[in-house]
Structure 1
Amino acid sequence: MSQSPNRLVATIFGAVYLLVGVLGLFVAGGNFIGQEGGLLLGIFQVNHLHNIAHLLIGAALLTAGLRSTPAAKGTNTTVGAVYLLLGIVGFFIAGTAANILALNTADHILHLASAIVLLGAGLALDKSSATARPAV
């Protein structure tokens, strides 16, 4: 694997989200969908749908990180944008029937933090010479 920052970020985040998805399956109990869920690490509320989302996102990030810099850059940007939206919307849907992923405040904050790192990497790192601005 090349020394691309985007590939490194995608690989690390992918592995972490896969691990979180697997661990969450053990604490979610019988809650597949809805506002209720088990607590992962004693703070992050998860249900099985939430865990499946983590597994899919982790797989996408890990695959992109292992594949190529453009794949990692695009996946980091896309997942980062989705997490930014989810982090913001999450505050508004908590306590409503729309909260089918059993999100809580800790989840919102973690999703926003993930969004900052993923979007930052995807949008700011690995600038190709074709898109770099010439020196003035």
Structure 2
Amino acid sequence: MAVTTRVTGVRTALQWAALAAGAVFLLAGILGFVPGVTENTGSLGFAGPGTGALLLGIFQVSVLHNLVHGLYGAAGVFMARTHRHARNFLIYGGVIYLVLWVYGLLIGDNTPANFIPQNSADNWLHLVLGLAMIALAILLSPRTAPGGREN
């Protein structure tokens, strides 16, 4: 008889939050390659501050930036399968975004250290995302999985 680790049943609010966040990051990663949604896709470089591509005309992106968003989003969708993994995705993902915010404040927009790349709009978005993800994890964590067990 095969044993499965797949969790079935109702998702918790925390799992829905992680799923939504993952889906948004995955979508952002895809849209970063779409002309019209991303301006100047002809200048989309692999990495570094030289890329002139702007997602929604605001956020500086590169191939690396888009791939990271896509992989991060896929991880969020996958981790939303269990309450514990969803919480970890939101907490640790939020911490990573806060680190990226600080990093973005410390480096200049046009320096080689800006390899991701990120501009001022990206920096402030990273702050909001980091705080929101951690807040969701804290606010929704007390709600355990259906049946009173923690997955």
TM-score, normalised via structure 2 length = 0.78
1:73 correspondence with 2:73: no
Q: Is the 8 A contact 1:76 1:121 kept in 2?
A: yes
2:49 aligns with 35
1:122 aligns with 137
* The one of 128, 132, 135 aligned to 1:113: 128
Q: Distance in 2 between matches of 1:34 and 1:7?
A: 34
Query: Aligned residues: percent identity?
Result: 36
**Aligned runs of 1:83-98 on 2, under 5 Å?**
83-94=97-108, 95-98=110-113
Q: Which moved more, 1:23-32 or 1:97-106?
A: 23-32
Q: Distance in 2 between matches of 1:45 and 1:75?
A: 24
Q: Is the 8 A contact 1:4 1:126 kept in 2?
A: no
Q: Distance in 1 between matches of 2:10 and 2:88?
A: 16
Q: Which moved more, 1:38-47 or 1:115-124?
A: 115-124
The Cα of 1:25 is off from its aligned counterpart by 1.8
The Cα of 1:16 is off from its aligned counterpart by 0.8
2:147 aligns with none
1:53 correspondence with 2:68: yes
The number of equivalent residue pairs is 128
1:103 aligns with 118
Q: Distance in 2 between matches of 1:55 and 1:85?
A: 19
Q: Is the 8 A contact 1:77 1:122 kept in 2?
A: yes
TM-score, normalised via structure 1 length = 0.86
The Cα of 1:36 is off from its aligned counterpart by 2.3
Which structure: larger Rg? 2
Is there any run of 5+ residues in structure 2 with no aligned partner, and where? 1-8, 145-151
2:10 aligns with 2
Q: Distance in 2 between matches of 1:78 and 1:56?
A: 15
Corresponding letter in the other structure for 1:46: V
Aligned with 1:32: secondary structure? Answer: coil
Q: Which moved more, 1:23-32 or 1:82-91?
A: 23-32
